[in-house]
Amino acid sequence: MSQPRWAVVVPVKHLAAAKSRLRGALPGVPHEELALALAADTLRAVLACPAVAEALVVTDDARVAAAARAAGARVLPDGPDAGLNAAFRHGAAGTLAGWVAGLTADLPALRPTELAGALLAAQNGRPAVRRFVPDAPGSGTTLLTAPPGVPLDPRFGVGSAVAHAASGALPLSGDWPSLRRDVDTPADLTAAARLGLGPRTAALVAADRPAHPA
């Protein structure tokens, strides 16, 4: 079975408010620069994934929007301005492809091949059923998929894996460590670094080391 081309929706908050638990993880790097790097490296992997027809970034942050357009993504203003799930729904409604995925913007180690594998698994699963990929601890969600004609119906947030399962979505299982490794805390960033960070995040980590050795 050939793989369809997917639309991937990636909401990104205003950088000043994004990733609050990560603040101070790199003392020598402005927090907004780190938040932007996480999103940029996530988007870079999405756009390099052969299964993806379009990446749609939902944001009202001018720097994020400029970086997303420069990378080749489409940008949609966060019209609802009502939180992450509203942004996912807004983005999904504006996609052009029939198969839609919602992806968190904090996956700096993401490998395009792992994203492609998860999307293929979602495509080949039970028809007309939403699927999701739990994060590394298992309580959160990094990826939610919906086939054509089925609403994305996102339930991201604390305990989202249970919430997505309760809503009828089925978990996807596969060897996708970089897809599961979202970054909310300094410990998460260290774990992502062990997998191999994308270039923008890796450069910030390297720049912080001389002034703040481990």
pLDDT on residue 2: 54
Q: Which of 7-16, 89-98, 128-137 has the lowest mean pLDDT?
A: 89-98
Confidence of residue 211 (pLDDT cuts 50, 70, 90): low
pLDDT on residue 210: 64
List, for residues 163-175, the tens digit of each pLDDT value. 999 999 999 999 9
- Whether 121 contacts 172, CB under 8 Å: yes
Burial (CB < 10 A; 0-12, 13-18, 19+), residue 214, is exposed
CA–CA separation, 97 vs 33, rounded Å?
A: 31
Q: Say what the pTM is.
A: 0.94
CA–CA separation, 169 vs 157, rounded Å?
A: 15
- Whether 60 contacts 78, CB under 8 Å: yes
Q: Which of 12-21, 93-102, 178-187 has the lowest mean pLDDT?
A: 93-102
Q: Which residue has the higher pLDDT, 213 or 160?
A: 160
List, for residues 119-165, the tens digit of each pLDDT value. 999 999 888 999 999 999 999 999 999 999 999 999 999 999 999 99
Beta strands in 59-207 (DSSP E): 74-76, 99-103, 131-134, 141-146, 170-171
Domains defined along the chain, listed by start = 6-205 (3.90.550.10)
Segment 35-41 shows an average pLDDT of 98
Confidence of residue 1 (pLDDT cuts 50, 70, 90): very low
